[in-house]
Amino acid sequence: MADLNDPVIRGFLKQLVGEEGLKMIEDMPEGEVTDEEIAEKTGVLLNIVRRTLFILNEYKLVVCRRERDTNSGWLTYLWRLDLSGIESRLEKEKKRLIQNLEQRLEFEEGNVFFVCPEGCVRLLFSEATNCHFLCPVCGEDLVAQDNSKTIETIKSRLEELEKCG
């Protein structure tokens, strides 16, 4: 079972399902239970429980089993929390984040930007020339942007991610 006290796991789950969803996960009963039972035992609203279960199911962090009542024909969905795959999911998310940061770094390093001093827009050089170096929102003169701090921030973040196992 995944350690819900691990700040990385908590942060990932919180980002995925929100504060209420995280509360549901922490208080979720053991074994197979219905969404109504989860709502009752955790104190989380049923619609939030269902949304959380749907999201967790997409990420394969819950197991769902359908059971048909032989008398009424109704289907009952039974849910069981299974966070055993969360480590591999975190690794996939890390790779995706690294790839996005590398693309952003390449974009930042390979372009020249112009910004409005009022903060309206940030444009590529070609876009700025099309606007005659005037802000298309407020009409102020656009100024060249030094994006070296942005580049350093991205590089620093990439280094941090590369260090993490």
pLDDT tens sequence across 108-149: 999 999 999 999 999 999 999 999 999 999 999 999 999 999
> For the chain, what is the domain count?
2
pLDDT at 1 (0 to 100): 57
Same domain, yes or no, for 93 and 159? yes
Q: Is 1 a domain residue?
A: no
What would the DSSP string read from start to end of the chain?
---TT-HHHHHHHHHHHHHHHHHHHHHPPSS-B-HHHHHHHH---HHHHHHHHHHHHHTT-EEEEEEE-TTT--EEEEEEE-GGGHHHHHHHHHHHHHHHHHHHHHHHHT--EEE-TTSS-EEEHHHHHHTTTB-TTT-PBPEEE--HHHHHHHHHHHHHHHH--
Domain annotation covers residue 35: yes
Q: What is the CATH number of the domain that holds 62?
A: 1.10.10.10
Same domain, 94 and 70: no
Domain span at residue 53 reads: 7-81
> Which one of 47, 81, 115 terminates a domain?
81
Contacts of 41 (CB under 8 A, 6+ apart): 27, 28, 29, 33
Q: Examine residue 2 and state whether it is found in any structural domain, yes or no.
A: no
| pLDDT tens digits, one per residue of 54-97 | 999 999 999 999 999 888 989 999 999 999 989 888 888 899 99
Asked whether residue 59 falls in the same domain as residue 100, the answer is: no
69 and 22 inside one domain: yes
Specify the pTM.
Answer: 0.68
